Amino acid sequence: MNNNNNHNNSESPNVEYPVEGLSCANCTREMQEAIQKLEYGSDARLSYVNSKLTIHPNADISHVDRILKGDGARIIHIKEHSLDDHHEHPADPHHGHSHDAEGNQLIKWLLGIAVVIYLLTFVLKNVLPEPLLIAMYMIVIALSGYSTFWRGLNNLIHLKFNMDTLMTVALTGAVVIGEWKEATLVAILFGVNELLEGYGMDRARKSIKALLANAPKEAALLSNGNVVHVPISSLRVGDLVRVRAGEKIPSDGIINDGNSSVNEAAITGESIPVTKKPGDYVYGGSVNTDGLLDIRIEKAYEESSLAKIMHLVQEAQDSKTPTELFIDKFAKYYTPAIMIVAILVILIPPLLLGQPWMKWVYQGLAILIVGCPCSLVLSSPIALVSGMTRSARNGILIKGGVHLEQLGKMQVLAFDKTGTLTQGVPSVMEEAIYDPERFYDVAGTLEQSSLHPLAKAIVRHIYHQHESPISPESTQLTTLPGLGIQGEIGGRTYWMGSEDIITHVATTDSEQMNMVNHDILRLKEQGLTLVITVDETHVLGIFGLADTIRPETKDVIRQLHQAGITQTVMLTGDHEQSAQMIATEAGVSSYYAGLLPEQKVDHIKRLSSQWKVAMVGDGINDAPALATAQLGIAMGKGTDSAMETADIVLMQDHLGKLPSAIHMARQVNRIIGWNIGISLSLKAIALLLTIPGWLTLWIAILSDMGATIIVTLLGMTILLGKDQS
C-alpha cells in the first residue's frame, strides 16, 4: 500500500493531542509504529512519558483513534489549530488501563475486590462445590485481567506478539489445563504489575507537571492608566505589566518602576530572593516576594526563558538514549523469541523424550509469563525522566536523556577561564605608588569616561578602596592604539597604559626607574596585567589587575575530582603567567594558555580522542569548543546563546551545582544498569528452573512482578533525592 508519506514534507506544523491510557512503553512503541504507517503519519510521535501524540494535521484522527483504542488508550482532547478548540471523545467501553488519578483509583478498587474474592476461595474451598469455586475464580479473572485479555486476544488475531499476548496465552492455557487457582493468581499479579508500572511513570509525569506549574497564567497589563488582566499569550514586546507582591512575573522584562526581592528558583533553582531595582532584568515565572513592580516586557512569553525551559524539558523526555534504543530493539524480538521457546518446551520433551504432556504444557505457560518484558522496558524511562525533572527543578536544564547518560560517563572536564572559573571582571589586585598626591586623581580623571573593562576596574578601585574624589576637570583625551591614552590636566600632559607607555618619560632619576622596573617585573611574575600612569618626567604609579577567581571555583574543582572526574583542564587565551596563577588557585589538573578560539577546538579534539570530554563555558564566546566536545555545558542564567549552544545549561551564573549534576547523572546510570541486571537475572534464574521442571506459574509471576517492582522503586528513588540549595 502506498501511504503517500511524502505529504509529510508540507509546511503545516504538527499538532499535539493529549492521550489517556498508555499502559506501557513497549505498547506505546508498537502503536507509534502502526500510526506511522498511516497516510501523513510517518513523522508521528507517541510519547509514553508525556502522554501526547504529535502528528501531521492532515492525518486521519479516526484511524489513529482506532489504533489507540485497540490497546485501551484514547485521545481525550482534539486540538486542531487552536488551544481553545477541543472536544472530548467518548470513553472506550473496554478501556480499563488508564493511569490517570481516576483510572488508578478504579484499578485499585477492582484489584482489591478481586483479592478479597480470591482469598475467600481458600477459606471456602472445602465448603463450596467446585463449580461455584470456578465461578469465583472467573469473577476474579474478569475483575483483574479483562483488559489484558481483550488486548491480547486482539493482538493474536493480528499476529502481534507483546506482553499482553504472552499473558493472554498463559492465562488461557492455565484455564484449559484446569489450573484455575494459578490462572487467577496470574491475572491478579499482572494487574498489580500494571498498576505499579503506571504508578511509577505517573509519579514521573506528575513531577514534570509540577515543574510546568511554574508558568504564570495571566498578566496585569497597564493600559491608559488602567490595569487589565489578560492571558500571558497576548503579551507583546514593549507592554507594561504590574506585578504585586506574591505574584509571578509573566514574562522576561526590565523593571520600569519599583524595588523588590524576586525569587528566581523557577529559572535558577536557587531559592534565595535577589534584590531588584529599576533597570534590572527579571525572568518570567519568577515570584515577586514583597514590593510592587512595573515591568516592561522584553520577550513575548513563548520566547521567554521559562517557556524555553519548559519546551526543552518536555522535548528532552521524548528523546531516546542508546540504552533505551537497544532495549526497544531487544524487546521487539525478545517477545516472539520467548513464544518460540515456550512452544519448543511444550513439544520437545513429550514428543522426543516421552515426557507427560500436562507437565510441559504447564512449564511452557510459565515461560510465557517469565518472558514478559515489562521490567526490562521500564529499566530506563522512569530513571531518566526522574533525573531530568529533578535536574530542571534544581536549575539544571538537560536537553535529553542521551545527554544525561553522557554526563554520568564523563572523564575529563575542560573549562573556559574567563567568566567560567573567574568572575570575568578584572579587579585591581596590587599597586605601586610613587606620587601619592597626584596618582589617584590623574588616573581617575583619565579613566572615568572610558568603557574599557580595565578602566572601569581602576575607577571602581579608586572610588571604593580609597574613597578619593575624582577631579571633574575636563581633559583632552587621545587614544594611543596598542599603548593606552593621553590627556591634559591643568596644562600638563599625562599618559596611562601598558609598560611601553614609559617611553614617554624623559628622566635622569635612575633610582626611581630601577624601582619601577623592579616593580614591573615583580607584578608581571604574579600574572597581573599592568596599567602605568606617567607624566613627562615621572612615573606616578602602577596598577596590577587580574580577573579574580569565582568564590566557589576551588571547592567545585575539588568536588569534581571526588566525584570521579579524572582531569580538569583550563583553556584560556590569556598569557602564561595569568593562566598559571588562576590554574594554581583553582586547583585544576592542567592548563593551556595563549589559545585562539580555533586552538581551543583543537585541544578539545585531542582530549576527546583519549577520553570522554565535556566543555564548560558561559555559552557566549566559547560556542565552537562547546559544539566540538562530546558534551557542552554552559552557565548563562538563561541566556539565549547558552540555551541554543549547550547540551546542558546551568541556569545559575556560577558552577556551584555542577558536581551535584554529575553525581545525579552517575546515580541514574547506576540505577539503569542495576535495573537491566536485576530484570535479566531474575528471568534467567526462573528460566533455568525449567531444566529440572521446577518452574511454576507462581514462581514465574513472582519473578516478573518482583523485577517490575524493584525497577519501578529504584527509578523513583532519584526523585526522592534532596535538591541542592
Residue 411: alpha-carbon gap to chain centroid: 20
**How far from 395 is each of 75, 213, 310, 392, 723, CA to CA, in Å?**
33, 15, 12, 5, 10
All 3 cell numbers of residue 322?
A: 542508546
| Angle ∠(181,186,188) on CA atoms, nearest 5 | 95
What does the H/E/C string look like for 481-540? CCCEEEEEECCEEEEEECHHHHHHCCCCCHHHHHHHHHHHHHHHHCCCEEEEEECCCCEE
All 3 cell numbers of residue 2?
A: 502506498
Spatial CB neighbours of 411, under 8 Å, sequence gap ≥ 6: 565, 566, 567, 611, 612, 613
All 3 cell numbers of residue 20?
A: 489517556
Spatial CB neighbours of 583, under 8 Å, sequence gap ≥ 6: 570, 590, 591
Instruction: State the Cα–Cα distance between residues 494 and 533, nearest whole angstrom.
Output: 7
Instruction: State the Cα–Cα distance between residues 128 and 717, nearest whole angstrom.
Output: 46
| DSSP SS3 for 254 | strand
Instruction: State the Cα–Cα distance between residues 327 and 379, nearest whole angstrom.
Output: 9
Helices 163-176 and 180-212: crossing angle in degrees, nearest 10, is: 160
- In which residue are the cell numbers 516576594 written? 289
Residue among 239, 416, 574, 647 flagged as catalytic: 416
Residue 228: CA count within 13 A, CB half-sphere: 11
For the beta sheet containing 274-276, the strands, ordered from the edge strand earlier in sequence to the opposite edge, are 274-276, 260-263, 287-288
What single-letter DSSP state applies at residue 59?
Answer: S
Instruction: State the Cα–Cα distance between residues 32 and 158, nearest whole angstrom.
Output: 16
> Strand 613-617 relative to strand 631-635: parallel, antiparallel, unpaired?
parallel
Instruction: State the Cα–Cα distance between residues 361 and 345, nearest whole angstrom.
Output: 8
Instruction: State the Cα–Cα distance between residues 357 and 346, nearest whole angstrom.
Output: 7
The H or E element spanning position 241 is strand 240-243
Report the sign of the C-alpha dihedral through residues 210, 211, 212, 215, in that order. Answer: positive
Question: Is 416 an active-site residue?
Answer: yes
Instruction: State the Cα–Cα distance between residues 495 and 182, nearest whole angstrom.
Output: 96
The H or E element spanning position 416 is strand 412-416
296 with 28: CB under 8 angstroms?
Answer: no
Phi–psi pair at 600, nearest 5 degrees: -60, -40
Spatial CB neighbours of 51, under 8 Å, sequence gap ≥ 6: 18, 19, 20, 22, 205
Terminal Cα-to-Cα distance of the chain (whole angstroms) = 57
What single-letter DSSP state applies at residue 302?
Answer: G
382 with 200: CB under 8 angstroms?
Answer: yes
Q: Measuring CA to CA, which residue among 379, 402, 50 is closest to residue 197? A: 379
Instruction: State the Cα–Cα distance between residues 394 and 668, nearest whole angstrom.
Output: 16
Q: Catalytic residue numbers?
A: 416
